[in-house]
Amino acid sequence: MGKVHVLDHPLIQHKLTYIRDKHTGTKEFRELVDEVAMLMAFEITRNLPLQEKATETPVMEATTQVLAGKKIGLIPILRAGLGMVDGMLRLIPAARVGHVGLYRDPETFKPHEYYIKLPSDIEERELIVIDPMLATGGSANDAIHSLKKRGAKQIRLMCLVAAPEGVEVIQNEHPDVDIFLAALDEKLNDHGYIIPGLGDAGDRLYGTK
Ligand code: PRP
Ligand code: URA
């Protein structure tokens, strides 16, 4: 079963509090999501393998380290996942970015895919699926199935806030996928919203309603 990592770094938790706050306006919300994504990128990449590399410093030749192994692909789920991409790219600037467009039907909560565009070599990449919200889990589940159908082999899921219901869906459907969260909340309400949550992530990022 995939592991759930709740990233409890104090800076992440501090900023998440202001992201949750209903008084935080669009501009500040966007900036905070961007900053938390960058901090989460630092934690999520902690176990990437390194290999030795000889480097000539101005003083001598030294044995140094560089990243080894698979290259990274970031896969934001549109729309809200886009709000976390730039923060991630600041730490992983060479990552390729693929997009999966999904919206959740407000009545049934079922996701509908309307767009997908991926790097051509996803089977060789370590993919990080990005969405601020993991609620029923339907959207992330569909996105991951879609990626696997197209050859993806190594996938991690990164969300700001999750409900236990969504975590369970991903763990059952994709036991090979580790989940990285800033917070694991209490549950879903009758409208499929995470509580306490942060409201509608897409609307708060883009000022829509
Ligand atoms: C939100 C959110 C997730 C999804 C989570 O997107 O960004 O993609 O809901 O819910 P789930 O786990 O129950 O599927 P939404 O459908 O509101 O689309 P948007 O990002 O375009 O606003
Ligand atoms: N989508 C959101 O944006 N927020 C929730 O709480 C649940 C789904």
**Residue 109, C-beta contacts closer than 8 angstroms, at least 6 positions apart:** 135, 136, 138, 192
| Residue of minimum CA distance from atom 7 in ligand 2 | 193
Catalytic status, residue 200: yes
Of all residues in the chain, the percent with pLDDT exceeding 90 is: 91
Determine the distance from the C-alpha atom of residue 171 to the mean position of all C-alpha atoms in its chain, rounded to a whole number.
16
Model pTM? Answer: 0.95
Q: pLDDT band at 166, cuts 50/70/90?
A: very high
Residue 69 has pLDDT above 90, yes or no: no
103-119 burial string, b = 16+ CB within 10 Å, else e?
A: ebeeeeeebebeebebb
**Domains of the chain, each with CATH number or no CATH:** 4-206 (3.40.50.2020)
- 12 carries a ligand binding annotation: no
> For all residues of the chain together, what is the average pLDDT?
96
pLDDT (mean) for 201-209? 95
Q: pLDDT band at 106, cuts 50/70/90?
A: confident
What does the pLDDT read at residue 111? 92
Q: Which residue out of 108, 121, 150, 176 is catalytically annotated?
A: 108
Determine the distance separating the centroid of ligand 2 and the alpha carbon of 141, expressed in angstroms. Answer: 15
Cβ 188 under 6 angstroms from ligand 2: no
What does the pLDDT read at residue 151? 97
Q: pLDDT band at 104, cuts 50/70/90?
A: confident
